[in-house]
Amino acid sequence: MSELLGLGVADGESRWIGVRRHQAALAIAGVGLLGEWLTHAHAGLIELVIGVGLLLCAAPTRDGLTVGERLRIAVDFIVRSRWSSIRASQNRGTVTINAHGDATVRGYELQHRGRLDLSGRDQLNALALAEFADALATSDDTRHFSLHVCSSPSGVATVLAAPSDVSAPSGWKENTALTLEATGVGRDPGVAWLMERWAYVRDEREVIRVLRVRDFSSVPDGHALLERMQFASPSLDVVVHVDVVGGVRAQRLAARAVHRVGSDDVTSLAAGFRRTAQSVHSLERLRQRESLVVEGTALMRIAVFIVIRAVSLQQLRRDVKVVTRCAVESGLRCEPGFGRQSSWYCAQLPGAPGW
C-alpha cells in the first residue's frame, strides 16, 4: 500500500506468542486429554492415543504447515478426482472462466514502450495501478484484479484482468485473445483438461508446477521483489492477485488488527514475555496502515503465484530447483503446494475462479 510501511510478515501469519490459533486449540485439547488420562485411574487407552495424536497434529513442519494441515491436504488429495476442467467463454469483450468456480473479467494488455527501466514507464504504470486500486476501494464490496506476466518463446506479455464494469488505467489496451490464452485454453474459447499429480498438473501440451510466494519480509530494502524470478526460467509466469477490500470494511479490519496486536503485546508482557523489536515494529506498521486506510488508501490482500511450465517432467524438476534457488537468494519464501496443484492452478487464473 505504501513505501512508508515497508515489507513485513503477512497478516495471515500473525501469531500469539509464536502459536497459531488452530495449533493452540489442538495443543490445549491434547494436553487436556493427557491430563485426564493421567489423573483418572480407570481412564481408557483411547484418551492417551487421541491426546498424543492431537499434540502431533499441532507440531509445525519445515514449510510452515502443521502435521494436521498436511494430513488434511493428503486426505483431500486422495478422495478427490484426478481430473478437472477449465472452461473459457467470450461475450462482448468479457471472458467468463469456470474452474472450481466462476469468474467474469475483462482483459487488457500492457503497451510496452521500449525498455521500461530506461524510459521511466515502469514507475508510471505502478502509480497508475495504485490509483486504480484506490478507486476500487471506494466501493462497499471487495473487488478483485490480477496481473499476469506470461512468458513464451515469442516474448513476454503482461495481462491485467479486471472487473468487467471498470475501466483499465492508461497504458493498457483491451486484448481478449491474450486473456483467453492466460487461462490455458488457447486464444479461442474452449475447454482444457488437467490431470493432477501430487507435485504438478498436466494438460495435453505440458506439465505445470504452481508455487505460491508466502513471505516477502526478507527482501532487502530497495530491491525489486520479483525481478530475478522472471529470469529464472524461459517458460515461467508470474501472477499477482489483488483483493481490494471495501472502504468501510477496510477501516474496520485495520482497526481490529491494531487492537489485536496491541492486546497480544499487553498479554505477553503480563505473562512475563519481553517485548521484542519485531513486535514493536509490527504494531507501528499496523498503526501507520490504519491511518492510511482512513485517508482513503486501499487495503489489499495479495497472493503471488509462480507458474512453471515444461515439456517434460525432468525439465520441470530442473526448472523448479532453479526458481526455488532464485527465490531464496532474493529473500522470498515459496510454498511448494504439494497435494494442492489443481486448486492453486485454478486460483491463479484471471479472475481467481478457484478462490
> Residues 12-40: what's their mean pLDDT?
76
Question: Are 318 and 169 members of one domain?
Answer: yes
Residue 230 backbone phi and psi in degrees, to 5: -70, -20
2 has pLDDT over 50: no
Question: Are 243 and 139 members of one domain?
Answer: yes
Q: Could you report the per-residue pLDDT of 141-153, keeping only the tens digit for each? A: 888 999 998 887 6
> Residues 215-227: what's their mean pLDDT?
67
Question: Are 170 and 313 members of one domain?
Answer: yes
Q: Could you report the per-residue pLDDT of 239-268, keeping only the tens digit for each? A: 999 988 887 778 777 777 776 767 666 666
The CATH code of the domain that includes 149 is: 3.40.462
**Which domain-ending residue is among 57, 78, 99?**
78
| C-alpha of 130 from chain center | 19
Domain range for 23: 11-78
Residue pair 11/250 in contact by the 8 Å Cβ criterion: no
pTM: 0.83
- Listed in order, strand segments (DSSP E) in 164-220 are 172-174, 190-196, 201-202, 207-215
13 has pLDDT over 60: no
Please count the structural domains in the chain. Answer: 2
Q: What is the mean pLDDT of the chain?
A: 82
Residue 176 in domain: yes
pLDDT of residue 10: 61
Question: Are 69 and 193 members of one domain?
Answer: no
What stretch of H or E contains 327?
helix 313-329
Question: Are 91 and 239 members of one domain?
Answer: yes
Residue 265 in domain: no
Residue 107 in domain: yes
270 compared with 331, residue with greater pLDDT? 331
**Which domain-ending residue is among 52, 78, 104?**
78
Question: Are 188 and 324 members of one domain?
Answer: yes
pLDDT of residue 4: 47
Question: Are 64 and 177 members of one domain?
Answer: no
Question: Are 342 and 193 members of one domain?
Answer: yes
